[in-house]
Structures are given as C-alpha cells and as structure tokens.
A and B are shown apart, each in its own frame.
With several copies, the nearest count.
Chain A
Amino acid sequence: MAYEVHIDVFDGPFDLLLRLIAAQQVDVYEVRLADIVDAFLTEMRRLGTLDLELATQFLLVAATLVELKCRRLLPGSGEVDLDDDLALFEARDYLLARLVECKTFSAAASVLALLERSAQRSLARRAGPDERFDRCAPDLLAGVTPEQLAAVAERAFAARPLEPSYVPYPSGEDVSVHATIEELVSSLPGRGRVSFRVLTAGAASPAHVVACFLALLELYKQSLVDLEQSETFGELTVVWSARGPVEPADVVSDAYDAAELEAASAGMAGRRVVPRAGSGRATPVGATVPQRTPGPTDAGGAR
C-alpha cells in the first residue's frame, strides 16, 4: 500500500516522486515539502490509527527528499547527478542492513520481555537471617560515628554539581577532543612521520576519527605538529614538530576550558566535546544541542 501525493507538479505514489526526481524528470526545487508533510499528517489523522509500515516508508522517502532538496538549495552544489544516485542506493543498502539488525534486536527484546514476565510470576526470597544470627553478622556500623553519618548526610543533601554543557556529535557518541589531544601529545613525540590512517586505525567510531582530526588541527594551530598532504583526499601525514617537551595541559587550556580538562582528566566528564564557554566557537554542522541543565557555563555559550 503506497501513499499518494497530490501536488501541483506531481500526482501519484510518493516513492515514484522520489524516483522521478532522481531521474530529473521532476525538479525537486518545485516540490514544496511542507505541503506533502501537511497532507500526510492530515491523512494520518483522518485514518485515526498509525500505520507503522506506511509511516516508516513515508519518513524514508521524505528524508531522502529533504536531503536532495538541501543539496539543490545549497550554493555550490550542482545538479543531482549519477554519483548522488549511487550514493542513494548505497545509503539504502546501509539502511537495509540497519533495518535487518533493528528487526533482529526488537525480536530479541520481545523474548527478553517474555522472560521478564515469566520471571515476575515468581518472587525471590529476600528475608535474610533471623535475629538468632544477629550476633554473627559483623557490625557494619563499627567505627562509624554520628558525626561521620552527619557528614555523609550533608554531602548527600548538598546540591549536585550541574552537568557541564556539551554538544554531542550526531552519532550520539560523546568523544573528548581533550583526551585525544592529551593522548596525541604523549604518543606523537619521537614517533616520526605517521599517517592519519594509522593514527585512527583502532578508532571505535567515526566520531573518534573526527575527534582525532580536530585534535590534530588544534595541535597544528599551535605549531606542535606539521601536516602534509600531497593531493586532495590523499594520505595525510603527521609529524611532531614541537621543540622541547610539551605538557598536555598547556595545549588544551588554550582551546578548551581548563576546568573541563581537569574534570575530563579526572575521568568525570570524559569523552565529551566541550566548547569553551563564551568562545563563540561554532557548533559542528548538523550537531544538535540537547535538552540540558542550565549552568554557569551557559552564560555566553550555545545559543
């Protein structure tokens, strides 16, 4: 069952519209996405129930249209060409793999739910030893004074420190540029020439590669490394070029908030990209600012 759209430039199945646009038979420029979405929502409301299959298909096609339209609207991007078309198909293969994985785990989740439900039909015994054994149980409060208890209570009741504001990468992974800089500062010297590919060979996710790249740019800016690249998209070579020993803290405090660095090196705020408050540093394209707690670091930060 396909969802049909009725707009000025096209009348028919929604996914056909996508294919016509890809084949350049309809100009995506002429397609008003807002109208399509409005019409779809109206239709959904009319039906009263959510057809998940239909909604998912709609989302997929609509998202692809948004992407195509963005490319068309952004200055410098040319016509939708064959490469983009291929990329679209690659994206779909990726999407397929993801869908299969998703289906697999949602089926597994339903089995966990079944196990949980059946386990809940029984309740475990939690009574513990009765009073006859009180004297064998060691006195767990031995050595604890009322004053210590009061101190613990004060700590517990004290306002919890607010989370530092942060901007996660779109991948959802929080990756610390600080930590990466620190790591590079300690590992690069004496290593000679090393390619970016080698540096990021063990990266857990694309976000880690990006963090490594940002860290290198920071080091480059401070003339601590030289970067060489003989051709566009060619191998990027990194050489440590600093004279004399360098402390990680010296490097990082220039670009990032020193307090955050301390927190990060103490392992508390690890793996986060923390733009220095008030630096006016632009957030990465596509990054979203999550709902977060108001804090002092917000004063001049993200807007």
Chain B
Amino acid sequence: MNSLSPDLRGDAAAIEAVLIVATEPVATSLLAELLEVSGERVEHVCASLSASYEEEERGFELARVAGGYRFQSHPAYRGHVERFVVDDAPQRLSPAALETLAIVAYKQPISRAQVAAIRGVNADGVIRVLQSRGYVEPVGRDGGPGQAVLFGTTQLFLERLGIDSTGDLPPLGQFVPDVSTVEALEHVLRTGPVPTADAEE
C-alpha cells in the first residue's frame, strides 16, 4: 500500500477485507467495533484510503453512503459496468427464483432454512440473486438460537408488481400450512412416519 502512510496500513487492510465482503454500506461504528479502534480512527483511515484509490486511479472507489462505507465502481468505468450488468444479467427470473420469491412474499418474514424446507432444496443461492436484484432484503432476525436472518420483500418488488402492499397479493385459494407445519412434514418425509393417534387405527 504504497500511497498510504505506514501507520494506517494494518487498519486499512482490515477495513478493505470487511468492505469487500459486505453487501450493504457498513456503518462507521460497526467498523470501529470490529477493528477495536475509535470511530474517528475509522473515518480517518477510510478518508485516506479513499484518497489513495483516487490517486492510484483504481476502477473502484470507497464511497461514504448512508452513514457507512462501501466499495463501488468508479464513475469513469460506468460504461463497462453498464455493459456488464446488461450482458451478464439473466433476462428473466428462473423458475426456482420465482418460486422462492413467491414463498418469501407470502410467508415473510422467513429464514433461508424455512424457504429451503418449503422448496425441498437449498435456497441460499436463489435468495442471494433475489437480494442482489433488490426484490428481497433482510428484515430482522429470528429469536431462536441461530438468530437466522429473516427475509421480506422490498419496495422495489411491490413497484415492479404494481401493487401497494403485500396485503394486495391475491389470497391463496387453498389451505396453506404454516412454516412449522411444513418443516414437520419435511421431517416426516425424510425420516419416516411419526406415530400418531390416527396412524394407530
């Protein structure tokens, strides 16, 4: 890190590591906590880092948005990025993605594991796509031991579907089991029948 003063390098690299994996802007306070330094220090390091990227004519920049920091592409390479986004993006949602979106829309807030239990297959990749498209977002955490992230649909989702709220979604015609019922069902399917009073007859 040539253009950065040596006393900043360690903290700067740690911030780079965190921001490269972050999908949302990371608040100064959270960075401070992770690095065990003060908020002022974080701001100082980030400002220096940002200036060094600019000076080194990098293709990315360290931007301060919404009270936090994030990596984003440099405006100078907007053309490349636009072409990439247009070329590379699948033109329609895959059936798996649409199914997952429907599940999230009707069952929100819902965790990845609960979506997987309903779909019968792992849904992590699909949820990531939906999240990167801005159709679903984390809306909270489960109270349970794992504190699983719970997902819900976004404003963009409502706009694209042309409705005002998820309450405007058509009601489902049939009885829809709640998530725990589906999980119990899934468990039974995997491990064999659970003896119940009914089954005894």
A residues in contact with B175, CB < 8 Å: 103-105, 107-108, 111
Whether the Cβ atoms of A174 and B21 lie closer than 8 Å is: no
Chain A residue at smallest Cβ distance from B96: A109
Q: Taking the complex as formed, is B63 at the interface, i.e. its CB lies under 8 A from any CB of chain A?
A: yes
Whether the Cβ atoms of A128 and B70 lie closer than 8 Å is: no
How many pairs of residues, A versus B, come closer than 8 Å at their CB atoms? 317
Contact of A108 among B102, B117, B122, B144 (CB under 8 A): B102
Which of B5-13, B47-55, B166-174 forms contacts with chain A? B166-174
Q: Taking the complex as formed, is A52 at the interface, i.e. its CB lies under 8 A from any CB of chain B?
A: no
Knowing A173-B113, A202-B145 touch, does A124 contact B71 (C-beta < 8 A)?
yes
Q: Taking the complex as formed, is B72 at the interface, i.e. its CB lies under 8 A from any CB of chain A?
A: yes
A138 to chain B, nearest CB (A): 6
A residues in contact with B65, CB < 8 Å: 124
B93 to chain A, nearest CB (A): 5
Chain B residue at smallest Cβ distance from A124: B72
Whether the Cβ atoms of A152 and B99 lie closer than 8 Å is: yes
Complex Cα spacing A293 to B189, Å = 6
Complex Cα spacing A106 to B124, Å = 18
Q: Taking the complex as formed, is B1 at the interface, i.e. its CB lies under 8 A from any CB of chain A?
A: no
Knowing A153-B106, A173-B148, A179-B146 touch, does A115 contact B82 (C-beta < 8 A)?
no
Whether the Cβ atoms of A124 and B147 lie closer than 8 Å is: no
Q: Which interface residue of B97, B160, B161, B186 has the most chain A CB atoms within 10 A?
A: B161
Whether the Cβ atoms of B146 and A271 lie closer than 8 Å is: yes
Complex Cα spacing A270 to B156, Å = 27
Whether the Cβ atoms of B170 and A100 lie closer than 8 Å is: no
Q: Taking the complex as formed, is B103 at the interface, i.e. its CB lies under 8 A from any CB of chain A?
A: yes
Whether the Cβ atoms of B21 and A171 lie closer than 8 Å is: no
Complex Cα spacing A101 to B176, Å = 7
- In the complex, per-residue mask of B101-140: 1 if CB is within 8 Å of any chain A CB, else 0: 1110110000111101111111110001000111100000
Contact of B120 among A107, A142, A160 (CB under 8 A): A160
Q: Taking the complex as formed, is B142 at the interface, i.e. its CB lies under 8 A from any CB of chain A?
A: yes
B15-50 interface (Cβ within 8 A of A): 19-24
Q: Taking the complex as formed, is B98 at the interface, i.e. its CB lies under 8 A from any CB of chain A?
A: yes
B residues in contact with A282, CB < 8 Å: none
B residues in contact with A176, CB < 8 Å: 146
A residues in contact with B144, CB < 8 Å: 202-204, 208
Contact of B85 among A92, A129, A173 (CB under 8 A): A129
Whether the Cβ atoms of B22 and A133 lie closer than 8 Å is: no
Complex Cα spacing A131 to B137, Å = 14
- In the complex, per-residue mask of B53-77: 1 if CB is within 8 Å of any chain A CB, else 0: 0000000110101000011111100
B84 to chain A, nearest CB (A): 8
Q: Taking the complex as formed, is A226 at the interface, i.e. its CB lies under 8 A from any CB of chain B?
A: no
Whether the Cβ atoms of B189 and A92 lie closer than 8 Å is: yes
Complex Cα spacing A175 to B144, Å = 11
Complex Cα spacing A15 to B65, Å = 51
Whether the Cβ atoms of A144 and B98 lie closer than 8 Å is: yes
Q: Which interface residue of B65, B70, B99, B145 has the most chain A CB atoms within 10 A?
A: B145
Complex Cα spacing A116 to B61, Å = 17
Whether the Cβ atoms of A126 and B23 lie closer than 8 Å is: yes
Whether the Cβ atoms of B173 and A154 lie closer than 8 Å is: yes
Whether the Cβ atoms of B21 and A127 lie closer than 8 Å is: yes
Whether the Cβ atoms of A120 and B89 lie closer than 8 Å is: yes
Whether the Cβ atoms of A122 and B185 lie closer than 8 Å is: no
Complex Cα spacing A106 to B118, Å = 11
Whether the Cβ atoms of A146 and B172 lie closer than 8 Å is: no
Whether the Cβ atoms of A140 and B91 lie closer than 8 Å is: yes
B142-164 interface (Cβ within 8 A of A): 142-149, 156-157, 159-163
Complex Cα spacing A293 to B143, Å = 31
Whether the Cβ atoms of B188 and A57 lie closer than 8 Å is: yes
- In the complex, per-residue mask of A163-197: 1 if CB is within 8 Å of any chain B CB, else 0: 00000100111111001100100000000000000
B residues in contact with A89, CB < 8 Å: 190
Whether the Cβ atoms of A125 and B91 lie closer than 8 Å is: no
- In the complex, per-residue mask of A18-50: 1 if CB is within 8 Å of any chain B CB, else 0: 010000000000000000000000000000000
Complex Cα spacing A228 to B89, Å = 61
Knowing A108-B106, A154-B173, A203-B146 touch, does A171 contact B113 (C-beta < 8 A)?
yes
Cβ-closest 4 pairs across A and B:
A119-B162, A173-B113, A172-B122, A128-B132
* B interface, CB within 8 angstroms of A: 19-24, 60-61, 63, 65, 70-75, 78, 81-82, 85-86, 88-93, 95, 97-99, 101-103, 105-106, 111-114, 116-124, 128, 132-135, 142-149, 156-157, 159-163, 168-177, 181-182, 185-186, 188-193
